[in-house]
Amino acid sequence: MMDRLASFGNDPSDKPPCRGCSSNLVEPYIKCAECGPSSFLLCLQCFTRGFEYKKHESDHKYEIMTSDFPVLEPGWTAQEEIALLEAVMDCGFGNWQDVAYQMRTKSKEECEGHYMKNFINNPLFSSTLLSLRQMEEARTADSHSFQTH
């Protein structure tokens, strides 16, 4: 009998998976700056959900790990990029008024324009965006009675 071995599925990178969901990490991802010595890595989705595990708490300092973070606009820091993703996660995709309110440092138009320009058309973020959209759909279907004050 012949064994037919498929070599697919071997991830060429030796990066550990996300601690939260065990998915393969796609840049940009989050590295906790306080947990160690072995790297405590989270994907953006788990990070924005505030994943906590043993000694790791969601308010730990963190680093954004990426070899190619698209800093396309000088006025936007990497922290602001992440804050924007968080705000979109919290407020829902398209709710730029609340996103801007949560961002504080950027206007509604800046948030929308920046997001559309740098995230929607960027393959680096396509998987993240897909998850954001799915979560957003689940959220709107789920929490219809949630009223803002």
Quote the DSSP letter at residue 116: I
User: Quick count: other Cβ atoms within 10 Å of Cβ 53?
Assistant: 14
Which region among 59-67, 79-87, 104-112, 119-127 touches Zn ion (by CB under 5 A)? 59-67
Q: Tell me if 35 contacts Zn ion by CB under 5 A.
A: yes
Under 8 Å between Cβ of 96 and 108: yes
Q: Tell me if 34 contacts Zn ion by CB under 5 A.
A: yes
CB of 56 to Zn ion, least distance (A): 3
CB of 31 to Zn ion, least distance (A): 9
Q: What share of the chain is helix, strand, coil (3-state, %, to 5)?
A: 40, 10, 50
3-class state of residue 128 by DSSP: helix
Q: Tell me if 60 contacts Zn ion by CB under 5 A.
A: yes
CB-nearer residue toward Zn ion: 35 or 103: 35
Interface residue list for Zn ion (CB under 5 A): 18, 20-21, 32, 34-35, 43, 46, 56, 60
